[in-house]
Every structure is written in structure tokens, then in C-alpha cells.
Amino acid sequence: MATPNANILSRQDFLDSVLRLEARVAAFDCDGTLWSGDAGESFFDWEIKQGIVPAEVGVAMRARYAEYKAGRVTEDDMCGEMVTMHRGLSEEIVMQAASDFMQHSFPGSIFPEMQELVWRLRQSGCDLWVVSSSNEWVIRAGMKPFGISDDHILATKAQLENGTVTDRLIRIPSGPGKADALREVVGREIDAAFGNSRWDTEMLEQTRHPFVVNPNPDLETKARERGWSIYFPDGRR
């Protein structure tokens, strides 16, 4: 029988175990995996307070979010509506708001070892993708310190018309949707994937080498059962 901490890696063991794979393609969840906190949820609260969306939209969306927390709205529906609530706004305005938020107001922080890992994988020539159910604008802003380009971001996204956000969604990469987006867009085997919650399970299941980072309790339990490698960023346990 495995010991309770058999598949929990130290910082150096984690970095070494990933880098020795010489992965050609890798995929990362963002919130809770590359940084602490939920950027999409925090931005939602911040932008309503800042008046980025009309006041009546903010009121309606807060009520909708309360329904989601009560279990009466699905994860996919909530993630989608947190994007389509911007319909009619210029994407330039929303992107600027997301950039301002991530630079100055996001209450979370980047895990330094994850930033180091991403940069070292990039230097090795690995094709890096990020997959998130948060809105694409905040993830694009959050990727600047990681050097991952916009065309390698698979996040919840709406169609645009002449630079204006519509209520037509292109994708919602949550749960099975993360694995689906990778298959559809990347179209190659994922050598290593990194996630922290049950919404990353399908993505982790489809990769050759799953790594569970800063896991929520439900994913930690699953990872222990399956023998997946677990890493807690410094000071997170």
C-alpha cells in the first residue's frame, strides 16, 4: 500500500520530473494552478463595482451568481454568462479593464515555481497551451508574465462583430470542455497537463503525464487514488 504522501513532490522534484519528460506539448489550467485565487470570479466582482458593465446588468448578474452558488445554475452556464454580460461593449474596453485588474487589483498571486516551469518549458521548445473557464480577456492579461501568446489561450470566449462583444459563445472550456477544446484546437497528444480542481479531471485523464498542482480536496483524493503526481506550491499546504 502506498504511503499517504507517496505521490506528493517537493519543489525541485516537481520541476525535475516535468522537465525530464522533454514534453513536446503541455497544457495548463490557470486559476489555482498558475496563480492563487480565481481571476475570473474576482474580475466579475471588480468590474461590476467599477461600472464596466451597465448597473442593471450588474444587478441581474449578481442575482444570477447567487443562483449559481445555490446550485441552481450550471458551471457552464455561469461561465458563459460572465462573458456574454459584456455584449454590446467594445472588446478594447473590456480588455483594458482586464489588464488593469490583473496588474493592480487581482487579490491572488503567481506561483513563482510555476512561472519558472513555464519559462523553462518554453525555452525547451515545448508547445504550451492554457485552458480556462474564466473569460478570455482576464486570461490574456494574466498570461503576460508567462509569455504565452493569445493564440495559445483556450478560455471562455464570445464572438465579436466589428470589435464589439456579442452574446454568441465560441467555447466554454470547463470540465469535459477543456479536453474537448484541446482535441479540437491543438489536435496533438498532450504530453503533460496541470490542474487543481475537479473541472480539470478530463484534461488530466487525457494526458500522458498528469500533474495536480495546489489541488482542491476532491481532486487531491482522486489524484491519490490514481497515483497522479501532486505538487503544493511553497507555503500552500
Predicted TM-score (pTM) of this structure? 0.94
Alpha carbons 201 and 222: distance in angstroms, whole number: 9
* Pair 25, 191: CB distance under 8 Å: yes
CATH number of 8-231: 3.40.50.1000
Q: What is the pLDDT of residues 50-98, one digit of tens each?
A: 999 999 999 999 999 999 999 999 999 999 999 999 999 999 999 999 9
* Residue 2: pLDDT over 70: no
* Residue 235: pLDDT over 80: no
Q: What is the pLDDT of residues 175-208, one digit of tens each?
A: 999 999 999 999 999 999 999 999 999 999 999 9
* Pair 129, 186: CB distance under 8 Å: yes
Nearest to 142 by CA among 105, 103, 175, 112: 103
Mean pLDDT value across residues 224-237 = 87
Residues sharing a CB contact under 8 Å with residue 140, sequence separation 6 or more, in sequence order:
95, 98, 150, 153, 155
Q: Could you tell me which residues are beta bridge partners of residue 212?
A: 195, 230
Q: Say what the pLDDT of residue 1 is.
A: 38
CA-to-CA dists, residue 76 to 18, 96, 202, angstroms: 31, 25, 15
3-state secondary structure of 212: strand
Q: Say what the pLDDT of residue 236 is.
A: 66
3-state secondary structure of 144: helix
Strand pairing class (25-28; 127-135): parallel
Q: Say what the pLDDT of residue 6 is.
A: 61
